[in-house]
């Protein structure tokens, strides 16, 4: 008798979560900062992503920073949270290489996200905010591109906690990268 694949996936997720709890694995332990180095050129952030669901959609960046312990490593397919109702927050720690010029492009290569608010936090302070999404008029977008993208100037040698508030009515597909201009 074969086991339906969705049932098998559910059991595997439950087993993974149980092992994480058993061995004391937390989101904070899982997160190694992404290094933005000019000689790399393009960095995929998904390996460092943790998430937190905000069902009411009422949390703000000021309240979310105090809930870092509630962020968890996603157990979904790579670079997607699938079709989930409600707002989802992402957290990505990053460090800019000392020798970087600090000029980077943040790109979410999925144009169907309605609204993405991005907050760069350094030393506990919000130092940069961006608004991306297809609910924003094309002329008002930070970069004229098919994807959701913005140029960001980051301080060489600095560390940032990047928080993204994802609010969309469709699938949350999140191929997120930082890259250098070609």
Average pLDDT, the chain: 87
CA separation for the pair 18, 42 (Å, rounded) = 34
Among 181, 180, 177, smallest CA distance to 44 is for 177
CA separation for the pair 167, 85 (Å, rounded) = 9
Check if the beta carbon of residue 87 is closer than 8 Å to that of residue 125: no
**Is the pLDDT at 24 greater than 80, yes or no?**
no
Among 42, 77, 74, smallest CA distance to 164 is for 74
> In angstroms, how far is the first alpha carbon of the chain from the final one?
54
CA separation for the pair 155, 51 (Å, rounded) = 25
CA separation for the pair 135, 111 (Å, rounded) = 10
Model-wide pTM > 0.85: no
Per-residue pLDDT tens over the stretch 122-170: 999 999 999 999 999 888 889 988 899 999 999 999 999 999 999 999 9
Q: With bands split at pLDDT 50, 70 and 90, how would you rate the model's confidence at 60?
A: very high
Check if the beta carbon of residue 87 is closer than 8 Å to that of residue 106: no
- Per-residue pLDDT, 25: 45
**Max alpha carbon distance in the chain (Å)?**
59
Lowest mean pLDDT among 27-41, 75-89, 127-141: 27-41
More confidently predicted of 115 and 27: 115
């Amino acid at each position: 008798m074969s086991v339906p694949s969705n049932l098998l996936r559910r059991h595997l997720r439950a087993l993974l979560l149980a092992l994480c709890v058993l061995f004391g694995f937390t989101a904070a332990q899982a997160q190694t900062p992404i290094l933005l180095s000019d000689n790399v050129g393009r960095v995929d952030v998904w390996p460092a992503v943790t998430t937190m669901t905000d069902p009411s959609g009422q949390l703000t960046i000021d309240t979310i920073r105090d809930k870092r312990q509630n962020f968890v490593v996603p157990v979904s397919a790579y670079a997607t949270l699938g079709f989930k109702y409600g707002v989802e927050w992402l957290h990505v720690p990053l460090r800019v290489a000392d020798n970087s010029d600090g000029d980077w492009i943040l790109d979410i290569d999925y144009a169907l996200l309605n609204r993405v608010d991005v907050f760069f936090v350094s030393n506990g302070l919000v130092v940069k905010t961006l608004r991306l999404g297809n609910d924003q008029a094309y002329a008002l977008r930070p970069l004229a591109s098919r994807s959701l993208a913005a140029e960001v100037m980051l301080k060489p040698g600095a560390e940032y906690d990047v928080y993204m508030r994802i609010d969309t009515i469709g699938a949350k597909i999140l191929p997120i990268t930082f890259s250098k201009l070609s």
